[in-house]
Amino acid sequence: MPSASASKKEVASLDRKMETRCAKIDELKAAMFDIDPTDFAALTAQQEAIAAAQEELEELEMAWLEASEQLSRGRPASSPEGP
């Protein structure tokens, strides 16, 4: 099991990667407006790029969830859990 420090770093890294991927998806979607609406090949290619970026984001989200779970399980037993 990774240390709590390593898990925190992994979660933070995944957070940054997800933010970057979200920005990229937004850019790709905005670029759709610059494509000639009759250019179906270009529109299809752009939509495929958006779908690929969204798939990468989903993979990052799953990795983030797994890392977050490891982090929460890695807490020392002496941590205050509340009343």
Between CA 67 and CA 60 the distance in angstroms is: 10
In angstroms, what CA-CA distances link 18 with 29, 73, 79?
Answer: 16, 23, 29
Closest of 31, 23, 15, 33 to residue 53, by C-alpha: 23
The verdict on pTM exceeding 0.85 is no
CA distance 26 to 12: 21
- Span 26-62, pLDDT tens digits: 999 999 999 999 999 999 999 999 999 999 999 999 9
**Across 7-19, average pLDDT:** 93
Using only C-alpha atoms, the chain has a radius of gyration, in whole angstroms, of 19
